[in-house]
Amino acid sequence: MSVFSDMLKHFIHEKDVKVGALAHYCNLERSTVYKFINGKREPMSAELVEQIAYFIKLTPLETQQLREAWKMSRLGEDVYYIRKSIDHFLCNFPNKSTPPASDFTPPRQFN
């Protein structure tokens, strides 16, 4: 099982979604959707994950969670978290072109 398959199984059960109807909507074989649910296969694209989320009627937060779980399953948990850490670091790295705070007073020079 994968993080994605566990989450997909949870949402399908919680929202009482019929797997056959989901497969038909996404233009997939029902067996393919069951492989997603059982962790034997991952969706081929982010667009397919979005289609699944739309059909299940996930909230924006749930859709984001499913998308992140898909990324984690595709990359592997270790690689996923390393990339997230790097992304967080780069996004929060101080920008040297930002002017200093306005309360800065230069030191006085004595003649």
Q: Tens digits of per-residue pLDDT, 48-73?
A: 999 999 999 999 999 999 999 999 99
* For the chain, domain boundaries: 3-92
Task: Report how far Cα 100 is from the mean position of its chain's Cα atoms.
Answer: 35
Cα dist. 86→73, 80, 99 in Å? Answer: 18, 10, 25
Residue 108 has pLDDT above 90, yes or no: no
Q: Tens digits of per-residue pLDDT, 69-96?
A: 999 999 888 888 898 899 888 888 876 6
CB count, 10 Å around CB of 72? Answer: 20
Please report, as a single letter, which amino acid is at residue 75: L
Q: What is the largest CA-CA distance in the chain?
A: 86
The predicted structure's pLDDT at residue 44: 94
Q: Which residues contact 56 (CB under 8 A, 6 or more apart)?
A: 11, 12, 15, 17, 22
pTM over 0.85: no
The predicted structure's pLDDT at residue 94: 78
H-helix segments, the chain: 3-14, 19-25, 30-37, 46-56, 60-75, 77-92
Cα separation, 41 vs 60, in Å, equals 24
Residue 16 has pLDDT above 90, yes or no: yes
The predicted structure's pLDDT at residue 111: 56
Band (pLDDT 50/70/90 cuts) for residue 21 is very high
Mean pLDDT across the chain, nearest whole number? Answer: 89
Regarding the domain with residue range 3-92, which homologous superfamily does it belong to in the CATH classification?
lambda repressor-like DNA-binding domains (1.10.260.40)
